[in-house]
C-alpha cells in the first residue's frame, strides 16, 4: 500500500506547516504493516535453501579428514571431497590435517616462523638440553621431533593436550636413552640414539592412545656445557692419545709376532733336520759295524 501523501500534507497545513504535532506513530506503523514485498514466500524459501546448503554440505581437503559429532558425540569420520551432515546445531565437523608433518624443537630454536618451539628463552633451551649420561657426565643434547596425526579420533578425544603430552614424553624418552650411554656415544652415535628414542617414544604414545605417529627424531650437534668444555677437550685428547698408543702397540705386535713365529719355526725345522741327520748317521754306522 502506498503512502497517502496528499492526506499527510493536508494534516501538516492544518497544524501549521511542519512545525506542529507530527503524525501519530500508530498511523505510521499501520501504514508499514500494510506494505507487502513482492514474492515474499519465494524469498523465504531461498533463504531456507541457502541455510541448509551451507550448514549441511561441506568440503574436506585432500590432506584432511572430517570428524563428525552429533550432539557432541562422535559418529563418523569422512574422507576428502564433498560431504553431507545434518544441519548446524545437530552435527558439527572438525577437520584434521593427517598429512602435515609437524615439528617440535627441544634444547634450541631454529627461528623458523612455521615451527613451534618448546622453549623461547636461551636459558630454558639450555636447561632442557642438559642431560646426565651413563658415565655421570653432563651433555647438551638438542633434538627435533617430527610427527603427524595417524588417528584423528584419538587425537581429538583421547588426550586433552596432545602437544604437551608429546613434549613431556619426548623429554622422558630422550633422557632414558642418554642415561644409558656414555658421553662419547652421545656425541659420536647420534643416529643410534635417535632411532632408540623414537622407538621408545612411539611405544609410549601408542599406549596413551594419542593418535600420533613419530616420523623421525633428528639429533642436533651434541656437546658439553661451556664451563667444562676445556676439561672435556683435555680428556678427549688424552683418550685419543691412549687409543693411538694402543693402536701403535698392536701394530708393532702384529709385525713382531709373525716374525718371531717364523724364526721359531725355522729353528724348530733346523733342529728336527739335524736330529734326523744324526739318527741316519748312527744307523749307517751300526749297519757297517754289524757287517
Going along the chain, which residue ranges are E strands? 57-60, 64-70, 73-78, 81-84, 91-97, 102-106, 116-117, 130-132, 138-140, 143-149, 212-219
Residues 6+ apart with CB under 8 A from 72: none
The closest of 129, 230, 242, 241 to 186, measured between CA atoms, is: 129
How do residues 41-91 score in pLDDT, each as one tens digit? 777 777 767 766 677 889 999 999 999 999 999 999 999 999 999 887 899
All three cell numbers of 157: 578425544
CATH architecture for segment(s) 102-224:
2-Layer Sandwich (3.30)
Phi-psi bin for 213: left (phi > 0), alpha (psi -120 to 50), beta?
beta
**Cα–Cα distance for residue pair 144/213, rounded to 1 Å:** 14
Where are the domain boundaries for CATH 3.30.479.30 in the chain? 102-224
Q: Other C-beta atoms within 10 Å of 162: how many?
A: 20
How do residues 226-253 score in pLDDT, each as one tens digit? 776 676 677 677 777 788 888 888 888 8
Q: Does the model's pTM come out above 0.85?
A: no
Going from the first residue of the chain to its last (291 residues), give the mean pLDDT of each consecutive group of 10, the final group possibly shorter.
55 53 56 55 73 80 95 94 88 95 88 45 65 89 96 95 95 95 90 96 97 96 77 72 83 81 83 78 70 61
At 118 the pLDDT is 45
Amino acid at each position: 500500500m502506498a503512502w497517502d501523501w496528499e492526506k499527510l500534507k493536508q494534516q501538516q497545513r492544518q497544524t501549521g506547516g511542519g512545525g506542529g504535532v507530527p503524525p501519530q506513530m500508530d498511523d505510521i506503523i499501520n501504514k508499514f504493516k500494510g506494505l507487502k514485498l513482492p514474492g515474499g514466500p519465494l524469498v523465504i524459501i531461498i533463504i531456507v535453501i541457502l541455510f541448509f546448503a551451507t550448514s549441511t554440505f561441506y568440503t574436506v581437503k585432500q590432506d584432511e579428514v572430517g570428524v563428525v559429532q552429533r550432539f557432541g558425540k562422535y559418529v563418523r569420520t569422512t574422507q576428502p571431497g564433498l560431504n553431507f551432515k545434518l544441519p548446524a546445531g545437530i552435527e558439527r565437523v572438525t577437520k584434521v590435517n593427517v598429512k602435515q608433518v609437524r615439528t617440535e624443537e627441544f634444547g634450541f630454536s631454529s627461528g623458523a616462523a612455521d615451527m613451534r618451539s618448546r622453549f623461547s628463552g636461551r636459558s630454558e633451551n639450555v636447561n632442557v638440553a642438559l642431560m646426565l649420561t651413563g658415565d655421570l657426565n653432563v651433555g647438551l643434547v638438542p633434538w627435533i621431533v617430527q610427527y603427524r596425526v595417524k588417528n584423528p579420533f584419538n587425537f581429538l578425544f583421547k588426550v586433552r593436550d596432545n602437544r604437551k603430552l608429546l613434549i613431556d614424553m619426548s623429554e622422558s624418552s630422550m633422557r632414558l636413552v642418554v642415561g644409558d650411554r656414555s658421553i662419547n656415544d652421545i656425541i659420536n652415535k647420534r643416529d643410534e640414539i635417535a632411532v632408540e628414542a623414537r622407538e621408545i617414544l612411539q611405544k609410549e604414545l601408542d599406549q596413551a592412545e594419542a593418535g600420533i605417529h613419530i616420523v623421525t627424531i633428528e639429533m642436533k650437534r651434541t656437546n658439553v656445557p661451556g664451563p667444562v668444555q676445556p676439561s672435556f677437550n683435555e680428556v678427549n685428547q688424552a683418550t685419543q692419545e691412549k687409543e693411538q698408543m694402543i693402536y701403535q702397540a698392536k701394530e708393532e705386535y702384529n709385525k713382531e709376532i709373525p716374525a718371531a713365529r717364523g724364526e721359531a719355526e725355522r729353528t724348530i725345522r733346523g733342529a728336527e733336520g739335524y736330529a734326523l741327520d744324526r739318527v741316519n748317521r748312527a744307523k749307517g754306522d751300526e749297519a757297517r759295524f754289524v757287517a
